[in-house]
Amino acid sequence: MLITELQFKDELLKTIIDNAFHCVVVIDINGIITYLNQAYCDFIKVDQQESVGRHVTDVIENTRMHIVARTGKEEIADLQFIEGNYMIADRLPIRQAGKVVGAVGTVTFRDTEEWRTMNSHIKNLLTELEYYRSVQEENTGAKYSLHDIVGSSSEVKVLKERIKKVAASDVSVLIRGESGTGKELFAHSIHQLSERSNKPFIKVNCGAIPEHLLESELFGYEEGAFTGAKRGGKLGKFQLADGGTIFLDEIGDMPLHMQVKLLRVLQDREVEAVGSVRPVKVDVRVIAATNKPLEKMVEEQRFREDLFYRINVIQVNIPPLRDRPEDIKELSRHFLAKINKRSGRRILGLQEDVAGLFDSHNWPGNARELENVIEAAVHLCHGERITKDALPDYLKEVSVLSLGKRSLKEIMEETERRVLQAALREHHGDRLKTAKTLGIGKTSLYDKLKKYGVE
């Protein structure tokens, strides 16, 4: 009974392999064929029973199976000329208890025409996918998803899992993180994973819109509401986002009088356009983002406490790049591939000393700074790999100050000078924002800039 059952299972397995795959061959460590499925026999025109027990080189033209069995090194998607044409073969070593005991080979495409047909089919599907993605982006405004968030650190993995849980609900989300950490990517991802994914995703940068235009931009206006108003009026961002999601970026920069009006909209779920006497109901999910210390701003009465609690139902905190250094290498590869494609360059990677420098740098501008550095380096690079010569000047400086060669005062002054330069770069030369970020007065900042000759 036991022998019959084993024979049955053996025949069943052979039948499945004969019918489920194009071509399969199995050899032992000495290159002797132990199995050749019927599809392979039909392809190379040999008898199955006569082939088993013979050396693979006597049966299959231009084979490398015996080499793979000897070296233990796999060969994937290798072109092999056989029966007057090229076929595409995979060859894998078979291991038992860690020791190579043979090899298995498969032919995915029996000739290059099959491969071309499949390749064309895949390209066609990718083209269709790209088309539908562009239509989705055009219709909704959301262009990023969770797959666009690069990083394999534990912090990023936890964040992605949190985003998946948060996205399903309709509650307000506050995304917090330093400038350049990718807050917008997470906002897009929440929308894409939500039930509102096929509805509009409207982004508003609260810090970029002039204060006197913010109300009309958010809530729209009626015809004749003010001098210069368009005929027929204009819909505001909240009306445009109806049914979908509105992303209020840099919400910490919103003036107090607008915070009052925003709070009313969030509470009543209706907006009143400038010049209108009738409020309009809107169904909008709110995602807000900031790099400002909102709790401190509430204490200083620069941000409304009731609005803070309204937008802070669920909080997502994105750690800075310096707290997840293991993501630097992966992000570097991602940005390099992206910039290569956009620029037409073919830079293969970073020199080891550049990779080491990246690991030791503090990245005050986070992922955005890393992308900008790599983009500049790609255009300045002369070889196939990014060298120190292609990096911005501030990164070329020695990152670790040698003790014993300079006094403590000199080291402290040099460190302070670099911090000032980095803060100015992060805020694009805005000295008022730089002073606020560093927690010093404007006069003190000017004195330090003059002292160190920083422009």
Residues 6 or more apart in contact with residue 365 via CB below 8 angstroms: 179, 180, 372, 422, 425, 426
> Which amino acid type is present at position 113?
E
Specify the residue for token string 């010049």.
275
Tell me the three state secondary structure of residue 14: helix
Residue 98 CB coordination number (10 Å): 5
- pTM score, two decimals? 0.60
Structural domains for the chain = 16-111 (3.30.450.20), 146-317 (3.40.50.300), 321-397 (1.10.8.60), 408-452 (1.10.10)
Comparing CA positions, the residue from 217, 199, 214, 218 lying closest to residue 141 is 199
pLDDT digit of tens for each residue in the chain (455 aa)?
445 666 666 666 666 666 655 789 999 999 999 999 888 888 888 998 999 999 999 999 889 999 999 999 999 888 777 777 777 888 999 999 889 999 999 887 655 566 566 656 666 666 666 655 665 555 566 778 888 899 989 999 999 999 999 998 889 999 999 989 999 999 999 999 998 988 999 999 998 888 888 888 999 888 777 766 677 788 889 999 999 999 999 999 999 999 999 999 999 999 988 888 788 999 999 999 999 999 999 999 999 999 999 999 999 999 999 899 999 999 999 999 989 888 878 888 899 989 988 988 888 889 999 999 999 998 888 888 999 888 888 787 644 444 455 566 666 677 777 778 778 877 777 888 888 888 788 888 888 888 877 76
Decide: 38 and 48 in contact? Cβ < 8 Å.
yes
Residue 54 CB coordination number (10 Å): 15
In this structure, what token pair is assigned to residue 202?
A: 């409207």
Instruction: Give the Cα separation of 193 and 135 in Å (integer).
Output: 17
